[in-house]
Structure 1
Amino acid sequence: MGILAVLALPLLLLGISGIIYLYQSVRWLLSKSAVQNKVVVITDAISGLGKECSRVFHTGGARLVLCGRTWEKLEALYDALISVTDPSMTYAPKLILLDISDINCIRDVAKEILNCYGCVDILINNASMKVKGAVQSISLELDKKIMDANYFGPITLTKAILPNMISRRTGQIVLINSIQGKIGIPFRAAYAASKHAAVGFFDCLRAEMEEFDISVSTVNPTFICSYHRQPAPGNWEASIWKFFFRKVAYGVHPVDVAEEVLRTVSRKKREVLMANPIPRAAVYIRTFFPELFFAIVASEYLQRKYLLWRHGTKLLLLLQVPLLM
Structure 2
Amino acid sequence: MGILAVLALPLLLFGISGIIYIYQTVRWLLSKSAVQNKVVVITDATSGLGKECSRVFHAGGARLVLCGRTWEKLETLYDALINVADPSMTYAPKLIFLDISDINCIRDVAKEILNCYGCVDILINNASMKVKGAVQSISLELDKKIMDANYFGPITLTKAILPNMISRRTGQIVLINSIQGKIGIPFRAAYAASKHAAVGFFDCLRAEMEEFDISVSTVNPTFICSYHRQPAPGNWEASIWKFFFRKAAYGLHPVEVAEEVLRTVSSKKQEVLLANPIPRVAVYIRTFFPELFFAIVASGIREKLKTEEES
- Once the 2 structures are TM-superposed, how far is the Cα of residue 4 of structure 1 from its aligned partner? 2.1
In structure 2, distance between residues paired with 1:249 and 1:226: 12
In structure 2, distance between residues paired with 1:66 and 1:107: 16
In structure 2, distance between residues paired with 1:245 and 1:287: 16
In structure 1, distance between residues paired with 2:224 and 2:307: 12
Equivalent residue runs for 1:1-325 within 5 Å: 1-228=1-228, 248-299=248-299
Match of 2:95, SS state, is strand
Match of 1:320, SS state, is helix
Contact 2:44–2:50, Cα closer than 8 Å, also in 1: yes
Structure 1 3/223 Cα, relative in aligned 2: closer, same or farther at 3 Å?
Answer: same
Contact 1:151–1:195, Cα closer than 8 Å, also in 2: yes
Give CA-to-partner distance per residue, 1:271-311, whole Å, 9 cap, x none.
Answer: 00011111111111111111111111111xxxxxxxxxxxx
- Once the 2 structures are TM-superposed, how far is the Cα of residue 101 of structure 1 from its aligned partner? 0.2
In structure 2, distance between residues paired with 1:232 and 1:197: 31
In structure 1, distance between residues paired with 2:150 and 2:297: 24
Give CA-to-partner distance per residue, 1:105-158, whole Å, 9 cap, x none.
Answer: 000000000000000000000000000000000000000000000000000000
- Once the 2 structures are TM-superposed, how far is the Cα of residue 228 of structure 1 from its aligned partner? 1.7
Contact 2:245–2:279, Cα closer than 8 Å, also in 1: no
Q: TM-score, normalised by structure 1?
A: 0.87
- Once the 2 structures are TM-superposed, how far is the Cα of residue 237 of structure 1 from its aligned partner? 18
Structure 1 112/24 Cα, relative in aligned 2: closer, same or farther at 3 Å?
Answer: same
Contact 2:68–2:99, Cα closer than 8 Å, also in 1: yes
Contact 1:70–1:97, Cα closer than 8 Å, also in 2: yes
Structure 1 147/230 Cα, relative in aligned 2: closer, same or farther at 3 Å?
Answer: closer
Contact 1:169–1:214, Cα closer than 8 Å, also in 2: yes
Contact 2:98–2:106, Cα closer than 8 Å, also in 1: yes
Contact 1:246–1:252, Cα closer than 8 Å, also in 2: no
Give CA-to-partner distance per residue, 1:41-87, whole Å, 9 cap, x none.
Answer: 00000000000000000000000000000000000000000111100
In structure 1, distance between residues paired with 2:294 and 2:82: 49
Structure 1 240/63 Cα, relative in aligned 2: closer, same or farther at 3 Å?
Answer: farther
Root-mean-square deviation over aligned CA pairs: 4.9
Question: How many residues matched?
Answer: 310
Contact 2:241–2:297, Cα closer than 8 Å, also in 1: no
Structure 1 158/62 Cα, relative in aligned 2: closer, same or farther at 3 Å?
Answer: same
Match of 1:232, SS state, is coil
Contact 1:231–1:238, Cα closer than 8 Å, also in 2: no
Gaps of 5+ in 1: 300-314
- Once the 2 structures are TM-superposed, how far is the Cα of residue 322 of structure 1 from its aligned partner? 15
Aligned sequence identity (%): 92
Structure 1 281/317 Cα, relative in aligned 2: closer, same or farther at 3 Å?
Answer: closer
Structure 1 321/39 Cα, relative in aligned 2: closer, same or farther at 3 Å?
Answer: farther
Structure 1 158/228 Cα, relative in aligned 2: closer, same or farther at 3 Å?
Answer: same
In structure 1, distance between residues paired with 2:310 and 2:260: 20
In structure 2, distance between residues paired with 1:62 and 1:160: 21
In structure 1, distance between residues paired with 2:288 and 2:271: 19
Match of 2:11, SS state, is helix
Answer with 258-267 or 235-244: which moved more. 235-244
Contact 1:249–1:321, Cα closer than 8 Å, also in 2: no
- Once the 2 structures are TM-superposed, how far is the Cα of residue 318 of structure 1 from its aligned partner? 11
Contact 1:43–1:50, Cα closer than 8 Å, also in 2: yes
Contact 1:278–1:324, Cα closer than 8 Å, also in 2: no
Match of 1:229, SS state, is coil
Structure 1 158/245 Cα, relative in aligned 2: closer, same or farther at 3 Å?
Answer: closer
Structure 1 196/153 Cα, relative in aligned 2: closer, same or farther at 3 Å?
Answer: same
Structure 1 237/222 Cα, relative in aligned 2: closer, same or farther at 3 Å?
Answer: closer
Contact 1:231–1:242, Cα closer than 8 Å, also in 2: no
In structure 1, distance between residues paired with 2:309 and 2:225: 14
